[in-house]
Structure 1
Amino acid sequence: MQNEYIPFQSEIKEVIKHTDIEYTFRMTYTGPVKPGQFFEVSIPKFGEAPISVSGIGEGTVDLTVRRVGKVTDEIFEHYVGDKLFLRGPYGNGFDIEEYKGKDLVVVAGGTGVSPIRGVIDYFSDHKDEVKSLTFIAGFKSPDDILFTKDFEKWEKTMDVILTVDCAEEGFICNVGMVTEYIPKLQLENIEEAVAVVVGPPPMMKFSTLGLLDIGFKEENIWISQERKMCCGLGKCGHCKIDDVYVCLDGPVFNYTKGRQLLD
């Protein structure tokens, strides 16, 4: 019988720096995986941390890591050719099929861009599979923007609204919260449109309320609740909210279910 707690080794194929505290580690991995799922990344003697899948390639997965503690500090000490230990993927992820043939709006804030990057990438490469795609992304400042090269590509295939809370002098960019751009959406049939919202809890709350205000149906909105996940297997109970285990039943939820998860 296989022990689900035992990780496997994965080699770092590439390290991509975004900011001083956010890097993407491209890891070797072969197997089924969806955007929005996560891996437990571990280093002996330091512990493990849940990291969202931010990209899916041929024989690789991208894991975008923010340097915020003991484990992630140590991950940043590893380079191309080094190995990390992974468990997963865990969670249910985003189902691409749910969005095909519809107007899709994606709203993301900060590191919330990471788990939906796979969705954006897929429809950027298959733009004929959606009626339209609008991506509203917000960051604190120009220095905090992730995936800048991807944004250059996405701007050619979809309607991208990139905004920052505050801009530096000489930097040309939208300034303001992502919620300011939701009422300005121009969609032919809002009642049939679908949306994905990922980011800090306050941003998700007011973004989903904004979408509902302009006519989106609750059942056509998906969110990601990436909070307090620990074991990934529904055993430790850290992520349990009422009778829901975020690591098993989520982290991606339809809004009709996600709005009931009061932590």
Structure 2
Amino acid sequence: MMKNPYIPNKYSILHIQHQTDIDYTFRLACDIKPKNGQFVELSIPKIGEAPISISDFGDGYIDMTIRRVGKVTDYLHSLQPGDHMYLRGPYGNGFPLDHYKGKHLVIAAGGTGLAPVKSIINYFHRNSHEIQKLDLFIGFKSSKDILFMDEIQGWMKNEKFNVILTVDKGDEDWTGNVGLITQYISNGTIGNDENLEVIIVGPPLMMKFTALEFLKKEILEKQIWVSFERKMSCGIGKCGHCKIDETYVCLEGPVFNYTKAKKLID
């Protein structure tokens, strides 16, 4: 008998970590084995369903960092450890982790776009012998919007990592970098290198102009990867909300090589 793909499974909340006033990371006791960059469909009976990126995972758990932006996510932020969520998935194509091994990897993440790539960063943080070097550009609107600060500080201590954390606008509580990610890429030393791979995740405009900065540095289109994780809807190509021309983003993506992504104009 064929299983109904819309029926989710029930999972218990192990831990909830407040990242900002509106961003919480939920750790669920879960047997799902995702690939880096995949997403799940999270549902609450009688409330609704929402596609959510997986921000990290390990044996017996997954993490999801969720922003309070609507009916479903408002309800989620009222839950406590021991309560339950319902998930189906994982869905989509993730990042080709094995392809990045032994390479000089560059990751540019804007805002909540850090969540879908955090598992990759943590993998190479734990297994730094598997990578040549990792340059990490992370940007947030303000210091109050920064996610995963404890982990970012840990990444900064890794000898193979070069981490640039910046905010769009500074404030009296912030003494670090100020400005858009693009200016740090433009002023940096990253250039044409056949052993280089670039990942970009964030708001659409951020991804567009960040990719252009890398292309200006003669990095090839085939060396750039992006995630359209904000386009997700039903997850299985039935509703059509993620469709761009003839491409179902939830089936072929959300991760695309730039050679394909540049043609997906929504």
User: What does residue 28 of structure 2 align with?
Assistant: 27
Give the Å deviation of 1:228.
3.5
Q: What is the SS of the residue equivalent to 1:230?
A: coil
User: What does residue 245 of structure 2 align with?
Assistant: 242
RMSD: 1.1
Q: What is the SS of the residue equivalent to 2:238?
A: coil
Paired residues of 1:192 and 1:216 also in contact (CA < 8 A): no
C-alpha distance in structure 2 between counterparts of 1:183 and 1:110, whole Å:
19
C-alpha distance in structure 1 between counterparts of 2:231 and 2:123, whole Å:
28
Number of residues of Structure 1 aligned to a counterpart in Structure 2: 263
| Alpha-carbon spacing, 1:207–1:187, altered in 2? closer, same or farther (3 Å) | closer
Letter in 1 for 2:79: H
Give deviations 1:94-131, integer Å, cap 9, x for gaps.
Answer: 12111111111000000000000001001111111111
User: What does residue 260 of structure 1 align with?
Assistant: 263
Q: Bigger CA drift: 45-54 or 224-233?
A: 224-233
Q: Bigger CA drift: 39-48 or 163-172?
A: 163-172
Identity of aligned residues (%): 52
Q: Confirm or deny that 1:196 pairs with 2:196.
A: no
Give deviations 1:26-81, integer Å, cap 9, x for gaps.
Answer: 01211321121001000111110000000012210100100000010011111100
Letter in 2 for 1:85: Y
C-alpha distance in structure 1 between counterparts of 2:190 and 2:230, whole Å:
32
Letter in 1 for 2:26: F
User: What does residue 163 of structure 1 align with?
Assistant: 166
| Alpha-carbon spacing, 1:188–1:181, altered in 2? closer, same or farther (3 Å) | closer
C-alpha distance in structure 1 between counterparts of 2:122 and 2:216, whole Å:
28
* Moved segments of 4+, more than 4 Å: none
Given candidates 180, 184, 209, the residue that maps to 1:177 is 180
Residue segments in structure 1 that go unaligned for 5+ positions in a row: none
Letter in 1 for 2:149: T
C-alpha distance in structure 2 between counterparts of 1:258 and 1:188, whole Å:
21
User: What does residue 68 of structure 2 align with?
Assistant: 67
C-alpha distance in structure 2 between counterparts of 1:227 and 1:188, whole Å:
29
Task: Please report the TM-score for the alignment, with normalisation by the length of structure 2.
Answer: 0.96
Residue segments in structure 2 that go unaligned for 5+ positions in a row: none
C-alpha distance in structure 1 between counterparts of 2:157 and 2:191, whole Å:
21
Paired residues of 1:190 and 1:216 also in contact (CA < 8 A): yes
Aligned pairs for 1:30-179 within 5 A: 30-157=31-158, 158-179=161-182
Give the Å deviation of 1:192.
2.8
C-alpha distance in structure 2 between counterparts of 1:76 and 1:25, whole Å:
9
Give the Å deviation of 1:227.
3.1
C-alpha distance in structure 2 between counterparts of 1:145 and 1:40, whole Å:
25
Give the Å deviation of 1:134.
0.5
Paired residues of 1:105 and 1:133 also in contact (CA < 8 A): yes
C-alpha distance in structure 1 between counterparts of 2:145 and 2:108, whole Å:
17
C-alpha distance in structure 2 between counterparts of 1:38 and 1:207, whole Å:
23
Letter in 2 for 1:112: G
Give deviations 1:4-38, integer Å, cap 9, x for gaps.
Answer: 11000011000010001000000121132112100
Paired residues of 1:227 and 1:239 also in contact (CA < 8 A): no
Task: Please report the TM-score for the alignment, with normalisation by the length of structure 1.
Answer: 0.97
User: What does residue 217 of structure 1 align with?
Assistant: 220
Q: What is the SS of the residue equivalent to 2:230?
A: coil
C-alpha distance in structure 2 between counterparts of 1:61 and 1:141, whole Å:
27
